[in-house]
Amino acid sequence: MVEFIERTIERQIISRLTSAPRKIIILYGQRQVGKTTLAKYIFQKLGDKKVLQVNADFNPHTEVFSSRDPEKLRLFVAGFHFLFIDEAQRIPDIGINLKILYDNFPDLRILVTGSSSLDLANRIHEPLTGRTWTFRLHPFSGEELIARSSALEYYSRLEEWLLFGAYPGVLELENRADKAAFLHELTHAYLYKDVLELSGIRHSGKLRNLLRLLAFQTGSEVSFSELGRQLGLNTATVQHYVDLLEKAFVLKTVSGYSRNLRKEISKKQKIYFQDLGVRNALIEKFAPLQLRDDTGRLWENFLFVERSKLLDNHQKRVNRFFWRLQTGAELDYVEESEAQLNGYEFKFGNKEAKPPAAWQEIYPNATFQTINSENWLNFVLNA
């Protein structure tokens, strides 16, 4: 069993949960990523304050917290300092009921978790506009794992991160076979659960086949129409499925960067998996790097996701893109903030790339850097 590893967003959540202005804390993240563990740890640190924990799978709780009845809610929450609702997206009308709690019980502090933004996005954000702070919990980041051990250990285990990802459950296991078995179980038992339950999709086989196709195209531009032809689905359905998988924190789509120059390709998208262990489980491939033909794809996905964890954990507002011209000039990754435009090329090994001449010509004030196997640590630790 791995000891509790502190999460970067923990202090931010505690600050928002205990200070003014009072707002509802929403903690999103994939299933099995540690949301419940983090929430319970936070409440332990708050000392002797009384916490009401609500299980969204428990019928009496669900009936009360979907009732829209202030008196029923009062009977449940009276005398408590904090309310913790786990997997809140499973409670009907949860957004409206949270609004009632927020408006009628000004001394009650509320934290809710959700493993999918599907219903939370629809049922919480609209009725709770201006009343929430939102956080995202990822699988463990490099920063979090280094704080537990050392930068040298994290650096030396690069192949492990590329093959098995960084889910808490994976880190608890010692050998490759157990890690692979955990990830297979995760992808079969949990990966589609929210999408299937909350969106009404009945063709789980189509969904799984789509994910497998996307796993083989990690880091490449994808054609939804081509995917549709391979799956026997229309383009709009494929786009809908990808959107749902992104809202369930399985995938992340990235668009091409453009300032509306005709020669820049901006309408296509790249797809990355939020955890490489899940990606490799979908294609049933955990072979060592020296036996693989997809190391470059793993590398690009890894750097994108670890950089995203860093930016999200520190609440850095940065737009993320790739860049390509019709001539073929391209960059793997682009970050745009108010002050700066930064371009990156990802190379596995110790290779160095030159910035595309067109990039320097079109964006003379932008930066460029190669991220390779020697300098990657700084990229995933410093924003």
| Digit-coded pLDDT (tens) for 212-236 | 999 999 999 999 999 999 999 999 9
Regarding predicted confidence, which is higher, 95 or 146?
Answer: 146
Q: Quick one: 106 and 165 in the same domain?
A: no
Instruction: Quickly state the pLDDT bin for 2 (edges 50, 70, 90).
Output: low
The answer to whether residues 160 and 330 touch, using CB atoms and an 8 Å cutoff, is no
Instruction: Quickly state the pLDDT bin for 24 (edges 50, 70, 90).
Output: very high
Q: Which long-range contacts does 318-321 make (Cβ < 8 Å, 24+ apart)?
A: 318/383, 320/254, 321/254, 321/255, 321/256, 321/257
- Rounded average pLDDT over 247-255: 92
- Rounded average pLDDT over 260-287: 88
Q: Quick one: 302 and 176 in the same domain?
A: yes
Q: What residue type is assigned to position 128 of the chain?
A: L
CA–CA separation, 228 vs 209, rounded Å? 11
Q: Quick one: 268 and 197 in the same domain?
A: yes
Q: Quick one: 77 and 107 in the same domain?
A: yes
In terms of Cβ atoms closer than 10 Å to its own Cβ (0-12, 13-18, 19+), residue 382 is: exposed
Block residue for tokens 């001394």: 107
Single out the residue in 267, 298, 313 at which a domain terminates. 313
Q: Is the pLDDT of residue 292 over 90?
A: yes
Q: Quick one: 162 and 304 in the same domain?
A: yes
Q: What is the CATH number of the domain that holds 178?
A: 1.10.10.10
- Residue 98 inside a domain? The answer is yes
The Cα-based distances of 114 to 8, 75, 120, 247 in angstroms read 18, 24, 7, 11
Q: Quick one: 196 and 65 in the same domain?
A: no
- Residue 367 inside a domain? The answer is no
Residue 53 pLDDT: 94
Single out the residue in 137, 158, 185 at which a domain terminates. 137
* Residue percentage of the chain with pLDDT more than 70: 94
- The residues near 69 (Cβ < 8 Å, ≥ 6 apart) are none
Sign (positive/negative) of CA torsion 84, 87, 92, 96? positive
How many CA atoms lie less than 13 Å away from 241 in the CB half-sphere?
A: 26
The per-residue pLDDT for range 113-172, each reduced to its tens digit, is: 987 765 555 566 667 888 999 999 999 999 999 999 999 999 999 999 999 999 999 999
Residue 123 pLDDT: 62
Q: Is the pLDDT of residue 201 over 80?
A: no
Q: Quick one: 287 and 155 in the same domain?
A: yes
Residue 312 pLDDT: 96
- Rounded average pLDDT over 190-205: 73
Single out the residue in 137, 169, 204 at which a domain terminates. 137
Q: What is the CATH number of the domain that holds 19?
A: 3.40.50.300
Instruction: Quickly state the pLDDT bin for 339 (edges 50, 70, 90).
Output: confident
- Residue 342 inside a domain? The answer is no
Residue 122 pLDDT: 57
Residue 129 pLDDT: 82
Q: What is the pTM of this model?
A: 0.94
Q: Quick one: 233 and 300 in the same domain?
A: yes
Q: Quick one: 176 and 114 in the same domain?
A: no
Residue 31 pLDDT: 86
Q: Which domain holds residue 259?
A: 142-313
Q: Is the pLDDT of residue 196 over 80?
A: no
Residue 374 pLDDT: 95
In terms of Cβ atoms closer than 10 Å to its own Cβ (0-12, 13-18, 19+), residue 189 is: exposed
- Rounded average pLDDT over 352-379: 96
Instruction: Quickly state the pLDDT bin for 315 (edges 50, 70, 90).
Output: very high
- Residue 359 inside a domain? The answer is no
- Residue 339 inside a domain? The answer is no
Q: Which residues are 369's β-sheet partners?
A: 344
The per-residue pLDDT for range 28-44, each reduced to its tens digit, is: 998 899 999 999 999 99
Instruction: Quickly state the pLDDT bin for 330 (edges 50, 70, 90).
Output: very high
Instruction: Quickly state the pLDDT bin for 68 (edges 50, 70, 90).
Output: very high
- Residue 18 inside a domain? The answer is yes
Q: Is the pLDDT of residue 331 over 90?
A: yes
Q: Quick one: 152 and 122 in the same domain?
A: no
- Residue 2 inside a domain? The answer is no
Tokens of 257: 């960067």
In terms of Cβ atoms closer than 10 Å to its own Cβ (0-12, 13-18, 19+), residue 336 is: middle
- Residue 181 inside a domain? The answer is yes
Q: Is the pLDDT of residue 260 over 70?
A: no
Q: Quick one: 124 and 167 in the same domain?
A: no
Q: Quick one: 128 and 225 in the same domain?
A: no
Provide the domain count of the chain.
Answer: 2
